[in-house]
Amino acid sequence: MIKHILVSAAILALLAAGAFAVYAYHPAMEEVATGTQQAFDDDAVERGRVIAAAGYCASCHTAVGGEPWAGNYPMETDFGTVYSTNITPDPESGIGAWSAQAFKRAMQDGVDREGRHLFPAFPYNHFTLMSDQDVDDVYAYIMSEVAPARSTQKDNELPFPLDQRILQAGWKLLFVDSGRYEKDPQQSDEWNRGAYLVEGVTHCGACHTPRNALGAEIDSEHFDGATIDRWTAPALNGSNAAAIRWTARDFSEYLKHGGTRAHGVAAGPMGPVVHAGLRELPDSDLQAIGTYLAAQNDDIRTGEEPAQIIAASLAKGQPKKSYRQDQGERLYVTACASCHYNSEQIELGRPDLGVNSATRLDQPDNLIHVILDGVGNQEGLPGIVMPGFRSALDDQEVAAIAAYLRRTRTDRTPWPDLGDTVSAIRAH
Ligand code: HEC
Ligand code: HEC
Ligand code: HEC
């Protein structure tokens, strides 16, 4: 009897393994003969340029100081470092020998030309939603406009067995919903266009949605906010921490210019999303993104008008005459208030620190990053910078300013262990 059970269990296991092997197997695809110039339509190439910008391909596929698109950009994941690959048209070290079909399989199924599973540090779980036409256009752009560059691929730093690509097939089975975007007929065309862009090529959820222990975005916590490179990517839904509710217009303005008056500016990892990416999209697409995102948080905080909230924040923000008593307040007045001086009219370039998300989030990380390193010209609003205070202030002083702003400008609970957090972020 026991023998029978064991034999049947073994057969079942073999069948399952066989089925998995069939599922996991993908054939290699033919190389495109080198030297064959493929011809592409100019319009397709131009459309591809815009879509590739909106997918930040170049940001992730270019190492600091490296050739554009030639890979080796290190992506630090919870499991180890994965290096992006060379996707220039170089036939040996890049994707010059990849057919349009092989490229499409990589984008939509996360499988490379030789049939190996790609790691989800490459956000193919979002790109799978892209239409065939958009993927073909990106291919046309890369093959005709990106300069071929040779490179030597760095080895990923992943522990065994996580480095085994075959395991990725299991990960896909669990977490990836392959397939093109399907319109929701209940919603407007604009909403659908926004959803297509946000969930697909621009993959906002890759940073703004928390991940589970296996590194997959958690569907039930879509846009609840997450940590990336020790920054907080704030929630983009009803739990967003900003004092003033984001409207469709705020979202599209922020994504076009890198900041809005009633919110903050796009610093840290959000900088390239705007400046190397979304800014290329036509206004109609940015509006569609705004419409889709605003619909995610429509039901909250409809009471007060932005003008009232800003006025109340400004009133709270006036340093007291006795400011010399409190170290945080004294440092704020001398280091920050000359620019963040709470005038009646908040200026676009100088966010009011009471309404800015950085002072209101559950983690102080974004505020600390900005105090230490400022906001560079490639981040936030173009042509406007904030200097950093890394060498002028020590950890305890940065912590004192952060604690002061939190206490006097927001109704949120104090941040614990601020001093330690500042030193960890300084070292990061
Ligand atoms: C968030 C970072 C990131 C973004 C954004 C990104 N990629 Fe990648 N991509 C990667 C990583 C990392 C790999 C390597 C994965 C691996 O080795 O399994 C990769 C692999 C690829 C591959 C497979 C190449 C090969 O040699 O196997 C292709 C094709 C590709 N990316 C195209 C694109 C395109 C086109 C875009 C923009 C629409 C893009 N990627 C955006 C990180 C990114
Ligand atoms: C590479 C990671 C990354 C990607 C991709 C990304 N974001 Fe962000 N986002 C961030 C970080 C980090 C911040 C915080 C920046 C700051 O406060 O200066 C942020 C801030 C924001 C904010 C401001 C929120 C607030 O409360 O102040 C909005 C709005 C936003 N992102 C929208 C988007 C949208 C829409 C997309 C997709 C089109 C997107 N983000 C893609 C990392 C990312
Ligand atoms: C010289 C003027 C100046 C000083 C001094 C200054 N700031 Fe700023 N700050 C700015 C400007 C300008 C921006 C917007 C930058 C941009 O858009 O590129 C900004 C942005 C910010 C933001 C928004 C960041 C975000 O991600 O939304 C915060 C928070 C902030 N400053 C806090 C401070 C604090 C705290 C101090 C004092 C330690 C300080 N600033 C000192 C000019 C200044």
The secondary structure of residue 245, as a DSSP letter, is: P
CB atoms within 10 A of CB 275: 19
The CATH code for residues 306-427 is 1.10.760.10
User: Is residue 232 in contact with ligand 3, taking CB distance under 6 Å?
Assistant: no
Locate the domains of the chain by residue range. 2-175, 306-427
Q: Is the CB of 368 under 6 A from ligand 3?
A: no
CB 197 within 8 A of CB 204: no
Q: Which mutation among 93, 117, 122 tests ligand 1's pocket best, with the greatest number of atoms within 8 A of CB?
A: 122
Cis peptide before 161 (omega within 30 of 0): yes
Say what the pLDDT of residue 36 is: 60
Nearest CA to ligand 3 atom 10: 386
pLDDT category, 355, cuts 50, 70, 90? Answer: confident
Lowest average pLDDT, out of 9-18, 96-105, 267-276, 294-303, goes to: 294-303
> Cα(7) to centroid of ligand 1, in Å?
44
Looking at mean pLDDT, say which of 258-272, 342-356, 366-380 comes out highest: 366-380
Residue of the CA atom closest to atom 9 of ligand 3: 386
Residue 94 in contact with ligand 1 by CB distance below 6 A: no
252 lines ligand 2 (CB under 6 A): no
118 lines ligand 1 (CB under 6 A): yes
- Say if residue 90 is exposed, middle or buried (CB neighbours under 10 Å; 0-12, 13-18, 19+): buried
Q: What is the pLDDT of residue 21?
A: 85
Q: Which two tokens stand for residue 348?
A: 């676009």
Index of the ligand 1 atom closest to the CA of residue 139:
35
Over residues 83-106, mean pLDDT: 97
Nearest residue (by CA) to ligand 3, atom 3, is 339
Sequence-ordered alpha helix ranges (H) in 92-229: 100-109, 124-127, 132-145, 166-175, 189-199, 205-208
Q: What is the mean pLDDT of residues 377-391?
A: 94
Q: How confident is the model at residue 105 (pLDDT cuts 50, 70, 90)?
A: very high
* Residue-level pLDDT at 303: 57
Residue 277 tokens read as 């990416």
120's tokens: 């989800």
The DSSP code for 415 is P
Task: Answer whether 25's CB lies under 8 Å from 116's CB.
Answer: no
Q: Could you tell me what percent of the chain has a pLDDT over 70?
A: 92
Query: Is the alpha carbon torsion for 174, 178, 183, 185 positive or negative?
Result: negative
Place of tokens 């604690």: 403
pLDDT in tens, 9-55: 677 777 788 888 888 899 999 988 765 668 899 999 999 999 999 99
The reported pLDDT for the residue numbered 312 is: 81
What confidence score (pLDDT) does residue 17 get? 83
Local structure of 231: helix, strand or coil: strand
pLDDT at 311: 80
Is residue 346 over pLDDT 60? no
- CB of 242 within 6 A of ligand 2: the answer is yes
Any residues with CB less than 8 A from the CB of 184 and at least 6 apart, and which?
Answer: 191, 192, 195
Q: Nearest C-alpha to atom 39 of ligand 1 is from which residue?
A: 57
Q: Give the confidence band of 322 by pLDDT, cuts at 50, 70, 90.
A: low
User: Does the pLDDT at position 172 exceed 90?
Assistant: yes
The closest-lying atom of ligand 2 relative to the alpha carbon of residue 251 is 29
Q: Is the CB of 410 under 6 A from ligand 2?
A: no
Distances (CA, A) of 100 to 71, 104, 136, 137, 411: 20, 6, 7, 10, 54
The pLDDT value recorded for residue 245 is 86
For residue 136, the Cα-to-chain-centroid distance in whole angstroms is: 23
Among the listed residues 44, 268, 280, 10, the one whose alpha carbon sits nearest the alpha carbon of residue 144 = 44
309: Cβ contacts below 8 Å, ≥ 6 apart: 243, 244, 355
